[in-house]
Amino acid sequence: MSLRNISRPRASRSCDNCRAVKRRCDQQIPHCGQCTRLREKCPGYRDDWELIFRDQTDRTIRRAKEKSAKCASASGASYSPSPISCPGPSIDEIGVNYFLHNFVIGGHSPSRGFLNYIPTVFNADNQHPTLVASMAAVGLVALANSTQQPELVSHARIKYSEAIRNVNAALASPVESLKDSTLMSVISLGLFEHVSNFESWVRHVQGAAALVVARGKGQFSSPAQILMFNQVRADMVVVCLHQRQSFPDNMRELQEEATKNMNASCGFWLLGTLAVRCVNLYESLVNNTGGTPDSAFLEEGTFIQHDFQHVPGLLATEEPYTTTLDSGGDPQVFYNGRFDLYRSSWAIRLWNNWRMLQLCVCEIMCYLLKKVLVTELEPVVRTHMTQKLQESLQILSKLVDDILATVPQALGLISPTSESEHDSSNASSPASVPGGYMLIWCLYLAGKSPNIRSPTRKWIIQRLQAIGETAGNAMALQLLQDIIRIDQSSVGHQ
């Protein structure tokens, strides 16, 4: 049953005051004109996600009973309320609701999730059935894994197959293929591929990138379109780093076009442009056959590191966080008794994206500096290079610690609102499946870092294994094997 076919009252976009007294609301921003005229304090309007999916309320149930009673009276039958079944959400609605609650508004977070731009696309395209099926599929498989209900997985796979058919049909249409709902459907289904394997996810990301390229330079007319491009760009960066490939030129050209439509100094956008530079530096280095001297790579790495230093200041202003030390916390959840509190899932993702890129650049710098230090150098140069190496190693250690401090909140094991609400007993509650999706890559890169000790790496292995097993996340378990091999190798050389 589609969301558009459900019988329910039309969602009112009026402010709370106007809805309460059933008066016409002009929906002016930031305050309703009716409230202003009557000198009332306007409480504001409903969030986009609330208008998209609302739980069945007592009022809706009462209306359904009244309608049934009228039908019974018209037919001459006596009305008895007992056999009337109350309207409840369909399987599709359950999946969509779970998706919205955990991936869009952020679940335990008081703000937004990392796909917070979906409501705009969802409403603008009249709740497109392809996007509904995509969100239902991801929501159902995440719900099935988080609550250990395997019977829901079959429903999720049915919705996934439906969504894939719809996407393929849309891609064959010159009109449908350019719709934002089609791209958003593809992005959403990428989350489903985590239950398959890494190779399936890579193919999915490459398909999303091809669709972005096909949409052309005219696709950046709204903030939601830029955020969708940013999501595909971020996924493509991970694919390129893992496969040692340069960032596609056609995607880079689109990045330059998108930059014209937004503030290029915005934290998340600056991160994306730096990520592309990081990818291309890494690809050039690993595929270098001797034509480029190490000094050139070292110079470019130094430039990128310098530019990265501006990002924390931006993020600290846009998305500040606090650090808490709790020596009595569960060591399996709180590494070294530390956890950080962020305002939203989006903030965690922004900071961890910056940390992941910094990890990559620092590892490149460490590799190059170690190569340089085994050559003949002037004493002054050697001292300078040794100092730079030590600084890079210290940065690596801090980045790993900072990533691990995001794990408790990302997995929903602590409250993000205040330190006083922290309760270590929450560690025994089921971990957030969406949080696991968000942590996979940063834990993977942290676990692969050559500068961490074996106990730290083992802690990361346990976290990734738990994410993979409790969330049914095959990709996490697949990436985990790389870290296990590194840990076994490091122990063997000690």
Peptide bond into 30 cis (omega under 30): yes
**Residue 44, burial from CB neighbour count under 10 angstroms (0-12, 13-18, 19+):** middle
pTM for this structure? 0.76
What string of pLDDT tens digits covers the 494 residues of the chain? 333 443 444 556 788 888 878 888 887 766 788 888 887 888 776 644 344 334 333 343 344 445 445 544 554 444 334 333 445 678 888 888 888 887 776 544 433 456 777 777 777 776 788 888 998 998 898 888 877 788 888 899 999 999 999 999 999 998 999 999 999 999 989 888 887 788 889 999 999 999 999 999 999 988 889 989 999 999 999 999 989 999 999 999 999 999 988 887 788 888 999 999 999 999 999 999 888 999 899 999 999 989 988 899 889 998 899 999 887 778 888 999 999 999 888 889 899 999 999 999 999 999 999 999 999 989 999 999 999 999 999 999 999 999 999 999 988 888 765 444 444 444 445 567 778 888 999 999 999 998 889 999 999 999 999 888 877 788 899 999 999 999 988 765 55
Amino acid identity of 251? M
Beta bridge partners of 164: none
Peptide bond into 430 cis (omega under 30): no
Nearest Cα neighbor of 437 from 132, 130, 138, 121 is 138
Which of the following CATH numbers is that of domain 13-44: 3.30.1340, 4.10.240, 3.30.700, 1.20.120?
A: 4.10.240
**Residue 130, burial from CB neighbour count under 10 angstroms (0-12, 13-18, 19+):** buried
- In which residue are the tokens 């442009």 written? 273
For residue 324, the surrounding DSSP H or E stretch is strand 322-325
Q: Are 204 and 481 in contact (CB under 8 A)?
A: no
Q: Are 391 and 425 in contact (CB under 8 A)?
A: no
Show me where the domains of the chain are located: 13-44, 91-262, 297-416+429-493
**Residue 200, burial from CB neighbour count under 10 angstroms (0-12, 13-18, 19+):** middle
